[in-house]
């Protein structure tokens, strides 16, 4: 429980600091991100428990990665992250999950995600800010990538990339679990 409280305090601090740097009021950040002011107030007081979609919308609006909202300052030049040390940010009812492993630094950060999709289970994502590029590389199994309503089959050994500013969905297909690595390439600077 203490670990969860510490993570919420770090998230609250990072959101408040990013909002202040961007010169946004709670009302304006809420309007741009599509998040209620009450949810933002609770989040900045470390009493809220935002879902994954809310974190993505806030990160997009603030021009940051999701992990930048959740992590403290990197302490070492090389970071090695173990999947079992990272709590999933999304879990499906049948065992699917998404773990944000790390985010690269620099003016245009890249998030690195590990996904596990069970057959028939899916995650629909809202469109991100303009300039976001997503790439999925399937390592085991198969999935269906749906972008703007068009389905694309992606199997083990294949990689697909697309503009993340379109509605998109990840769906596990086939008979076994699909494992994939997803990268989200973020444009520099906050959205307007």
User: In this structure, what is the dihedral angle of CA atoms 150, 151, 157, 159, given to the nearest 10 degrees?
Assistant: 20
Q: Euclidean distance between the first and final Cα of the chain, in Å? A: 36
Q: Is the pLDDT of residue 74 over 90?
A: no
What pLDDT does 76 receive?
Answer: 57
* For residue 191, pLDDT beyond 50: no
Q: Is the pLDDT of residue 164 over 90?
A: yes
What number is the average pLDDT over the span 159-188? 95
Token duo for residue 53: 């979609």
**pLDDT digits 0-9 by tens, 86-138:** 888 899 999 999 998 888 876 778 899 999 999 999 999 989 989 999 999 99
pLDDT-above-70 percentage for the chain: 91
Q: Are strands 150-155 and 142-147 parallel, antiparallel or unpaired?
A: antiparallel
Asked if the model's pLDDT at residue 149 lies above 70, the reply is: yes
The answer, yes or no, to whether residue 176 has pLDDT greater than 90, is yes
What's this model's pTM, rounded to 2 decimal places? 0.66
Q: How far is CA 93 from CA 88, 100, 124, 172, 179, in A?
A: 13, 19, 14, 13, 17
Q: Are 59 and 109 in contact (CB under 8 A)?
A: no
pLDDT averaged over every residue in the chain: 86
């Amino acid at each position: 429980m203490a670990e969860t409280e510490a993570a919420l305090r770090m998230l609250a601090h990072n959101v408040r600091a990013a909002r202040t740097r961007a010169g946004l009021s709670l009302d304006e950040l809420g309007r741009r991100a599509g998040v209620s002011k009450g949810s933002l107030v609770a989040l900045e007081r470390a009493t809220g428990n935002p879902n994954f979609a809310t974190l993505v919308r806030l990160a997009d609006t603030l021009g940051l990665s999701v992990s930048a909202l959740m992590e403290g300052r990197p302490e070492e030049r090389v970071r090695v992250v173990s999947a079992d040390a990272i709590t999933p940010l999304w879990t499906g009812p049948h065992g699917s999950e998404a773990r944000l492993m790390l985010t690269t630094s620099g003016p245009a950060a890249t998030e690195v995600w590990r996904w596990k999709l069970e057959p028939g289970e899916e995650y629909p994502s809202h469109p991100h800010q303009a300039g976001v590029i997503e790439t999925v590389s399937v390592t085991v199994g198969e999935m269906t990538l749906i972008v703007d309503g068009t389905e694309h089959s992606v199997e083990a050994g294949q990689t697909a990339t697309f503009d993340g500013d379109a509605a998109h969905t990840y769906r596990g297909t086939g008979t076994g679990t699909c494992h994939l690595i997803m990268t989200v390439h973020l444009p520099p600077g906050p959205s307007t």
